[in-house]
Amino acid sequence: MTTIEVQAGTPLDAYVPLLGRAEIEEIRTLARPLRGRTIQMINSTSVGGGVAEILNRLVPLALELDLQITWDVMAGGPDFFEVTKAFHNALHGGAYLHRPEDFEIFARYTEQNRARLPLDADFTVIHDPQPAALVEGRERQALDLAVSHRSLARQRERLELSGAVRHEI
Amino acid sequence: MKTAQLPFEFFTVAPLIRVGNEVVETLAELRDGLERCSDASIFHHTFQTLGRHHFLTEGFSSDFAQWVLTATNRRELAEQLASLDIGDYLSIAELRSDLRRIVASYCDLFPQYANQTALERFWFCEGIEVSVPLDRCASTLEELQAGVEQMSHASFFFHFVSSRMRLHLRTNDFSLWLSRELGLERLAADVNRIDIYTNTLDSARAALVRLLVREARSA
């Protein structure tokens, strides 16, 4: 497990000409009640792929908003990534022939990472299938999010979260 | 200048999207899915898509209509689904019933298309609105105008579009407040007539501001 140090990025105000002042100010308003809360992002790579692209930009923006955000990358050998790639392809509708050892490999690396990584942030966001089972290591008092970028990307959605009143439709 | 007893409180909203397990790939399956899926799913694929594609005035804002057109190539059905104006509905149950009825009628009329496999599958998602007070209030027409001018798209969507499902009234938060608190019935009706389908959220908001300015000048 590696904690990624992200360089300072583009400040929020640089987005005002693109999005308008109202959108940016609202982000600041939404972040204010979360100031000081700890947020942990977990994925499986620091470079390449959509999640790394997002986090490289999202983490500096969150820091600018005084959120205590960290980004951890899980460790795994070639056998682990071969298995999770097969899972990934199956989730995309590809053919997948289950081998008994696949889930053993997946469970073994998950357990190794879980032993090394404290999952004690106020919010933990787990990206993609590779670290998905780490969610079992969380105590249930906090809000957890397991994000499937496959489905979200497919739907061209952005996942946004803030806290206050929740309207059940 | 008339001052309201109860101020207008500005909120914003963040949509939390949950991808479900229900997937369909034929019109017959869509018909059945429309019966089984949650209310939050109907809300997401009709109301929330209108907010998400707020910058468009062409094409279908309903995900159901868009999928029927692009994945099954049944334009006539897509147009029927898209012709449902969400502004006419006060409950998801009514909207669901009409969506399902339209698809079921089409399947009955054209059984040869009902079980054709679509080019891509449709995944039912669910939308949950997480709304947050912005600590901004308006007690007068001028304060409301200033607040509207500073609103984000999400905030405007919350008060103008999705408010109907919350209020269970054929109106929106602005019109309701203008009518109840300031007694401006005609202005409230004019605001409620702003068409969300032929406008973007930006142009709808601009239309609202124009109405507020006109009213303030005539007072």
ipTM for the predicted complex comes to 0.73
Of B12, B125, B129, the CB nearest to A169: B129
B130 CB within 8 Å of a chain A CB: yes
- Residue A6 sits in a domain whose CATH number is 3.40.50.2000
**Is A157 close to B155, i.e. CB distance below 8 A?**
no
Select the residue from A21, A26, A143 to test the B interface by mutation, using most B Cβ atoms within 10 A.
A26
Residue A107 lies in a domain: yes
Kindly report the average pLDDT of chain B as a whole number.
Answer: 90
Residue A37 lies in a domain: yes
Q: Are the C-beta atoms of B212 and B145 separated by less than 8 Å?
A: yes
Residue A26 lies in a domain: yes
**Is B125 close to A154, i.e. CB distance below 8 A?**
no
**Is B132 close to A159, i.e. CB distance below 8 A?**
no
Residue A25 belongs to domain spanning = 2-154
* Mean pLDDT value across residues B170-181: 94
SS3 B14: strand
Residue A115 lies in a domain: yes
Residue A167 lies in a domain: no
- What does the pLDDT look like over B66-119, one tens digit per residue? 999 999 999 999 999 999 988 888 888 999 999 999 999 999 999 999 999 999
Of A155, A163, A168, the CB nearest to B125: A155
SS3 B132: strand
- Within chain A, which residues score under 50 in pLDDT? 141-143, 148, 150-169
**Is A160 close to B40, i.e. CB distance below 8 A?**
no
What's residue A140's pLDDT?
Answer: 53
- What does the pLDDT look like over B130-154, one tens digit per residue? 888 888 899 999 999 999 999 999 9
The DSSP bridge partners found for residue A38 are A68
Choose among A13, A23, A152, A61: nearest CA to B12. A23
CA–CA dist B7, A111 (Å, integer):
54
B215 CB within 8 Å of a chain A CB: no
CA–CA dist B39, A68 (Å, integer):
36
DSSP type of residue B135 = E
Q: B219 pLDDT exceeds 60?
A: yes
